[in-house]
Amino acid sequence: MQIGYVRVSTNDQNTDLQRNALNCAGCERIFEDTISGTKSDRPGLKKLLRTLSAGDTLVVWKLDRLGRSMRHLVVLVEELREQGVNFSSYVITGGGFLPLMQIF
């Protein structure tokens, strides 16, 4: 199953662009946070991570929507890989999705 995650930093922003991209990618569920990426307590992300299982693909619009830092992102993607979860980002490929396990 493809499961998406969207995040905006403030209530003044909206997730429409991210959600549209993830819907086009075939995401069956999308989890959301409205909180700064520097915050480690992101309820939507925590719920998403509890939902994922082996064979699923976590899809984000951009890498910075998921990780607080490059280090955090690499650690998180490695943890997903160990659980058998794939990871894909839309913007890194300029409009198409790429399994990021090929990059890391």
Q: Could you list the active site residues?
A: 9
Q: Which residues contact 104 (CB under 8 A, 6 or more apart)?
A: 74, 77, 78, 81
Q: Are strands 98-99 and 86-89 parallel, antiparallel or unpaired?
A: antiparallel
CB contact at 8 A, 42 and 67: no
